[in-house]
């Protein structure tokens, strides 16, 4: 049974991201995952209590703070460029070898080579399932640090179900390794990174807000089940999950009401909607989110998720406007197919979904398009628009053309053909 790595962090005064110069891609894992047999004893319906943040009164991390001494200059450059670009994807940790995640990261790294410096990504936001199968620290080198060794920017993350899963007899508590590597109280070089320079991230906790120029991302933790996602007690007094994230979400949306004018994104690992053949949606989680959106009258410009190992883009239409709900779980772990139609034919899009999704009343949800291949989101925000592009690995590292994109007008909350 795997045990935790000896935890001896080396403090540093400033964060370090990618290696100073590119290095050859690894062709195999140093520590091949050998724990899939523990699925046989896993309690697949047992939720885990959410580990508390370091300070419940300080749940916002600014991009400037996360970049250390270089942060102020970096933020000033983004503001001068009048836009921000960043990457997002989930489910990056493969178990059979690094080839698939390496292909995704290599294409993201190619986005740092841009004619216009304003187009260079400022960070990567991971949508969960960093490490398979149970988020163990012993796999962080092979599945995270080595594949991302050439990524020259900060990496933030919300946990996925595999990052927090525990099985009977496991020595480490839920999210133990995730918290060390992404929620460190200070920048530090961890044993999990081996000889690579990237330092731990300093997020406040497993749920938090990333505040960057032109965009604010509210990250939620949807717990450890294969499905559905859970962010509250769902009125079950015996649940180990409390309603702390609902209070957190409400507090953050009330802060938005005080005058924030930029793009607002909610990130959560389990998708509210999905047409995937393996992973289903989370209607009760959606109801929880909607209850806070409606209570505050603040609605995100986009909701992004992982979990289903493919790309799916939905449009939700309500009285307040249009919201893209995007699944980008194609970051490197086992691309999954979508459900098929009659006679095993592929789903034809656009596809309107019933207005009552799992008992949750919504006006209209449309599956606009999908791709069953590896790729990532490239997100661009300025003072008036939010655009989300999907880039397929298959198009090659030299391709700058998105396979799919959608743009939201921040003021009208409507989809638009305009581009940042």
| Domain boundaries defined on the chain | 10-415
C-alpha distances (whole Å) from 411 to each of 1, 260, 262, 383, 385 are 53, 12, 9, 9, 8
C-alpha distances (whole Å) from 241 to each of 8, 75, 81, 158, 246 are 31, 36, 42, 17, 11
Tokens 């656009």 appear where?
Answer: 350
* Separation CA 93–CA 98 (nearest Å): 8
User: In three state form, how does the secondary structure of 334-385 look?
Assistant: CCCCECCCHHHCCCCCCEEECCEECCEECCEEEEEEEECCCEEEEEEECCCE
The per-residue pLDDT for 126 is: 98
The runs of H, that is alpha helices, within 297-339 are none
The per-residue pLDDT for 361 is: 62
CATH class of the domain defined by 10-415: alpha beta
C-alpha distances (whole Å) from 44 to each of 18, 161, 243 are 36, 11, 21
Residues written for the chain? 420
Q: What is the DSSP letter of 43?
A: -
Residues pairing with 276 in the sheet: 338
The per-residue pLDDT for 1 is: 41
How do the residues of the chain divide into helix, strand and coil, expressed in percent and rounded to 5? 25, 25, 55
* Separation CA 122–CA 67 (nearest Å): 10
pTM (2 decimals)? Answer: 0.96
Q: What is the DSSP string of 187-201?
A: -EE-GGGTT--PPPP
Q: What are the pLDDT tens digits along the chain (420 aa)? A: 445 676 778 889 999 999 888 888 889 999 888 888 898 898 888 999 999 999 999 999 999 999 999 999 999 999 999 999 999 999 999 999 999 999 999 999 999 999 999 999 999 999 999 999 999 999 999 999 999 999 999 999 999 999 999 988 888 999 999 999 999 999 999 999 999 999 999 999 999 999 999 999 999 999 999 989 999 999 999 999 999 999 999 999 999 999 999 999 999 999 998 886 677 789 999 999 999 999 999 999 999 999 999 999 999 999 999 999 999 999 999 888 887 666 667 788 998 886 555 566 667 899 999 999 999 999 999 999 999 999 999 999 999 999 999 999 999 999 999 999
């Amino acid at each position: 049974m795997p045990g935790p790595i000896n935890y001896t962090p080396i403090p540093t005064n400033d964060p370090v991201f990618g290696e100073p110069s590119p290095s050859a891609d690894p062709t195999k894992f140093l520590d091949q995952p050998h724990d899939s047999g523990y699925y046989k004893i896993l309690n697949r319906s047992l939720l885990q209590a959410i580990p508390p943040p370091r300070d419940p009164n300080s749940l916002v991390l600014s991009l400037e703070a996360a970049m250390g001494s270089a942060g102020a200059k970096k933020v000033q450059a983004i503001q001068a460029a009048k836009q921000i670009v960043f990457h997002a994807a989930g489910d990056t940790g493969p178990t059979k070898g690094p080839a698939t995640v390496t292909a995704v990261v290599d294409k993201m790294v190619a986005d740092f080579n841009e004619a216009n410096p304003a187009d260079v990504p400022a960070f990567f936001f991971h949508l969960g399932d960093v490490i398979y199968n149970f988020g163990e620290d012993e796999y962080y080198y092979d599945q995270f640090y080595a594949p991302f060794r050439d990524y020259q920017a900060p990496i933030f993350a919300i946990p996925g179900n595999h990052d927090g899963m525990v099985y009977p007899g496991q020595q480490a508590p839920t999210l133990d390794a995730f918290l060390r590597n992404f929620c460190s109280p200070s920048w530090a070089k961890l044993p999990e990174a081996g000889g690579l320079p990237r330092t731990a991230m300093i997020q406040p906790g497993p749920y938090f807000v990333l505040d960057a120029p032109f965009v604010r991302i509210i990250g939620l933790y949807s717990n450890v089940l294969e499905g559905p996602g859970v962010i509250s007690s769902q009125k079950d007094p015996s649940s180990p999950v409390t309603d702390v994230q609902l209070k957190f979400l409400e507090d953050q949306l009330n802060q938005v009401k005080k005058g924030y004018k930029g793009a607002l994104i909610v990130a959560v690992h389990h998708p509210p909607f999905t047409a995937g053949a393996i992973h289903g949606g989370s209607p009760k989680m959606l109801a929880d989110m909607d209850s806070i959106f409606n209570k505050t009258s603040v609605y995100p410009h986009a909701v992004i998720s992982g979990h289903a190992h493919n790309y799916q883009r939905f449009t939700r239409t309500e009285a307040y406007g249009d919201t893209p709900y995007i699944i980008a779980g194609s970051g490197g772990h086992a691309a999954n197919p979508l459900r098929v139609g009659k006679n095993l034919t592929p789903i034809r899009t656009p596809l309107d979904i019933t207005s009552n999704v799992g008992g949750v009343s919504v006006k209209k949800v449309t599956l606009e398009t999908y791709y069953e291949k590896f790729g990532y989101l490239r997100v661009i925000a300025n003072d008036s628009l939010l655009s989300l592009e999907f880039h397929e690995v298959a198009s090659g590292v030299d391709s700058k053309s998105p396979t799919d994109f959608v743009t939201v007008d921040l003021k009208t909350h409507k989809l638009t053909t305009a581009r940042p």
